[in-house]
A = this chain, B = another copy of it.
Amino acid sequence: MLNDTAGPGSAKEAFVAKRIVIIGGGAAGIGAAGAARGTDRDAEIVVYTEYEDAAYSPCGIPYVHGGEIPDFERLFLGTKQQYADQGIDIRYQTAVQTIDAHGRNVRVGHGPPVPYDALVVTTGWEYGKPDVPGNDLAGIYYMKNIREAMQWHEVLEGVRSAVVLEAGPLGMEMVTALCHRGIQTHLVDPGPWALAMATDPDIVAPVQESWQEMGAQLHFNTKLEAILGDDAGRVRGVATSGGDVACDLVVVCTHKEPRTELGAAAGLAVGTAGGFIVDETMATSVPGVWAAGDCAEIPHGVSNVPIQGLSGSHAYAQGKVAGVNAAGGQRAYQPVYVPWAMVAGKWMIGGVSFSETLATALGIPFVTGQAQGISRARYFPDLKPVKVKLLAEPGTLRLIGAQMVGGEGIKERADFLAMAVRTGITLRDLATMENVYSPPIGALNEPIALAAQDALARLEG
Listed in ascending order, the chain A residues whose CB lies under 8 Å from chain B are 27, 57, 59-60, 63, 68-70, 74-75, 311-314, 316-317, 333-334, 336-343, 348, 350, 377, 379-381, 409-416, 418-420, 422-423, 425, 429-430, 432-442, 444-446, 448
Contacts and interface: CB of A to CB of B under 8 A. Distances in A.
A441 B380 contact: no
Contact of A434 (B338, B435, B438): B338
A380 B60 contact: yes
A327 B60 CA distance: 56
The 3 closest A-B pairs by CB, nearest first: A313-B437, A412-B412, A416-B416
Contacts of A422: 429, 434
A220 B150 CA distance: 54
Nearest to A70: B381
Given A60-B380, A377-B60, A415 B440 contact: no
A68 B382 CA distance: 10
Contacts of A74: 379
A211 to B, nearest CB: 16
A9 B94 CA distance: 98
Contacts of A379: 57, 60, 69, 74-75
A404 B334 CA distance: 26
Contacts of A418: 433-435
Contact of A415 (B75, B311, B435, B444): B435
B438 A415 contact: no
Contact of A343 (B75, B336, B433, B441): B441
Contacts of A27: 444
Contacts of A314: 434
B442 A419 contact: no
Contacts of A439: 57, 59-60, 63, 69
A340 B63 contact: no
Nearest to A382: B68
B436 A68 contact: no
A278 to B, nearest CB: 16
B377 A444 contact: no
Contact of A68 (B338, B409, B440): B440
B348 A441 contact: yes
B409 A419 contact: no
A339 B57 CA distance: 34
Nearest to A438: B342
A411 B436 contact: yes
A36 to B, nearest CB: 17
Contact of A437 (B59, B413, B430, B433): B59
Contact of A423 (B312, B381, B429): B429
Contact of A444 (B312, B338, B438, B445): B312
Contacts of A316: 444
21 contacts: A27-B444, A59-B377, A68-B381, A313-B434, A313-B445, A314-B434, A339-B436, A340-B436, A341-B441, A342-B440, A342-B441, A343-B440, A348-B441, A409-B412, A411-B435, A412-B413, A416-B419, A418-B433, A419-B420, A419-B425, A419-B433
A337 B432 CA distance: 12
Nearest to A342: B438
A432 B418 CA distance: 12
B341 A442 contact: yes
Contacts of A414: 436
